[in-house]
Amino acid sequence: MELGVNALVESPSLLGLLPLVVYIVLIFMNQSNLLATIIGIAIGAILIGHDLGMLAADFAGSLGSFVATIGFIIMLGAALGRLMNASGITKTLVYWIVKGLKVNSKNKARFALMVISIIICGLLGTLGGGNAIIAPIIIPVLASIGLTPTATALILKNAGEVGLIWGPLTGVTLAMLELTDMSYGEYMLFAGLPFGLLWLAGTWFASIHIQKQTEGKEHYDLSQAVDFDQFVVSSKERQATIAFIVSFLALVVFGVVTGQGTNYAIIVMIILMIIVALFGRIHPKVAEEKIVEGVASMADLFLIFITIDVLLEMVTAAGGFEALSELLQTTFTNISAPAVMLISAIVGGLGVEAAAVAELQIITDMFKPMIESSGLPLQMFAISLLSATRLTGSIYPTSNMIGQLGIAQSSNTKLMLKGNWLSIAPLVICIIIWAFVGVNLF
């Protein structure tokens, strides 16, 4: 994207950040993501001098962008989720995990809930959608053991988010691999696993604290709940689940061994949809309806990805990110690699919630010149990116946090927020230490 003849700015210019600033302000004013991006684009078009014809070309170009590809993969993931639900695979996975772990104590219930949420959200690539599917199945088990709604909500939120950063085909993971140029193995070793395990450890102890605070004050009403003991896994559901697990693992292993890129996820989703429909014995017409329903459920997110790509390209064309980087480097003379890591994590951690892939791109564009000049290893910047997108929902009430409260049938926002602060405390401490230690190791 280039400046038009009637551009009001000359690149690089801090004014080029104006569309992005307006977008972020509107988000914090609780405006919709799509409306915020459209207004930002309108301002950007005026700044860089793009007429209607050039705007049309900008949108057409964004359809072939990396962000659009991720959006399409997420839509396919939602479609796969609908088929998995219709075939009984999701229910069967939950049943097997609960029975296999012999959940009969609060600690086992916490562990089972974490495992189930990580697996389902990691497979489906969605926090709200994944946990909404498993909640009616698992809550009666948790209730019989005495786990309270707020403690349940805390575990669902944080374990589900860990699933998003561990799942090999989620939007967050694919974006991380693309932006850091790391393999899935490298990403998990240097960023995904340590980040997720620390978060889960903090969540474990925070959930115990929240349980003590709410025990005797909160409880589940089981009158309308699904009786987990009445679930019976049919031979068809068993076969479909086994076929899905074997196929998923085989496709992931093949992708890792052969070094497949982001686009590989598209064919993986399509193959898995075919396998689930066949082994689940879903009629082709019904399967088609489920796929369309799943894709349609993510249409708004896809539109956000397309528009945010146009917005970011406008900011880049105006030199907004370049000017900001120059300003920061001038302000913080000879800025060090640890400082770049911590600043980028803080900026993201207080950033734009509910648009994780877009935020990953924003933070990368904003700090890329500083990363190169400071020599910050991308393995360490990956941790900053995870902090940028995941910790936002733990610092202040966000749609993700409120959504999980609703799914867990809790309304205790105050304790939920406190639990999230306790959960990320060890993670934040370790990130600060690693910012200084890791640079020397790499």
Q: Has residue 151 got a pLDDT over 90?
A: yes
Report the pLDDT value the prediction gives residue 222, as an integer from 0 to 100: 58
Q: Tell me, what DSSP letter sits at residue 215?
A: B
Q: Has residue 375 got a pLDDT over 70?
A: yes
Structure tokens at 140: 């009666």
Q: What is the mean pLDDT of residues 235-258?
A: 86
Report the pLDDT value the prediction gives residue 397, as an integer from 0 to 100: 64
Beta bridge partners of 215: 218
**273 in a domain, yes or no?**
yes
Tally of domains in the chain = 1
**295 in a domain, yes or no?**
yes
Question: Is 122 within 8 Å of 167 (Cβ atoms)?
Answer: yes
**201 in a domain, yes or no?**
yes
Closest CA to 76 of 218, 215, 266: 266
Q: What is the mean pLDDT of residues 61-82?
A: 80
Q: Has residue 350 got a pLDDT over 60?
A: no
Q: Has residue 220 got a pLDDT over 90?
A: no
Report the pLDDT value the prediction gives residue 155, as an integer from 0 to 100: 94
Q: What is the mean pLDDT of residues 11-26?
A: 83
Give the residue with greater pLDDT, 316 vs 392: 316
Q: Has residue 122 got a pLDDT over 80?
A: yes
Q: Has residue 384 got a pLDDT over 70?
A: yes
**418 in a domain, yes or no?**
no
Q: Has residue 392 got a pLDDT over 70?
A: no
CA distances from 30 to 35, 69, 129, 350 (A): 11, 27, 22, 15
Confidence of residue 229 (pLDDT cuts 50, 70, 90): low
Report the pLDDT value the prediction gives residue 328, as an integer from 0 to 100: 67
- Within 8 A by CB and 6+ apart from 112, the residues are 97, 98, 101, 103, 138, 141
**101 in a domain, yes or no?**
yes
- Within 8 A by CB and 6+ apart from 290, the residues are 79, 82, 83, 86, 282
Most confident of 73-87, 150-164, 294-308, 313-327: 150-164
CB atoms near residue 348 (< 10 Å): 26
Distance from C-alpha of 278 to C-alpha of 272, rounded to nearest angstrom: 10
Confidence of residue 348 (pLDDT cuts 50, 70, 90): low
Alpha helices in 29-105 (DSSP H): 33-48, 52-62, 66-87, 89-101
Question: Is 89 within 8 Å of 280 (Cβ atoms)?
Answer: yes
Closest CA to 391 of 116, 174, 202: 202
Question: Is 175 within 8 Å of 359 (Cβ atoms)?
Answer: no
Q: What is the mean pLDDT of residues 271-290?
A: 92
Q: Tell me, what DSSP letter sits at residue 376?
A: -
Structure tokens at 25: 């302000």
Q: What is the mean pLDDT of residues 239-245?
A: 90
Q: Has residue 228 got a pLDDT over 60?
A: no
**115 in a domain, yes or no?**
yes
Question: Is 3 within 8 Å of 317 (Cβ atoms)?
Answer: yes
**27 in a domain, yes or no?**
no
Q: Has residue 425 got a pLDDT over 80?
A: yes
Report the pLDDT value the prediction gives residue 351, as an integer from 0 to 100: 47
Q: Any idea which of 158-167, 248-257, 303-312, 399-408 has the lowest mean pLDDT? A: 399-408
Q: Any idea which of 40-49, 130-139, 279-288 has the lowest mean pLDDT? A: 130-139
What average pLDDT does the structure give for the chain?
Answer: 82
Q: Has residue 349 got a pLDDT over 60?
A: no
Confidence of residue 205 (pLDDT cuts 50, 70, 90): very high
Distance from C-alpha of 195 to C-alpha of 424, rounded to nearest angstrom: 10
Confidence of residue 419 (pLDDT cuts 50, 70, 90): very high
Structural domain boundaries, residue 78 = 66-300
Report the pLDDT value the prediction gives residue 154, as an integer from 0 to 100: 94
Report the pLDDT value the prediction gives residue 211, as an integer from 0 to 100: 92
Question: Is 402 within 8 Å of 354 (Cβ atoms)?
Answer: no
Report the pLDDT value the prediction gives residue 285, as an integer from 0 to 100: 93
Report the pLDDT value the prediction gives residue 196, as an integer from 0 to 100: 94
User: Angle at CA 270, nearest 5°, toward 267 and 271?
Assistant: 85
Structure tokens at 174: 């694919």
Report the pLDDT value the prediction gives residue 225, as an integer from 0 to 100: 45
Closest CA to 15 of 27, 5, 3, 32: 3
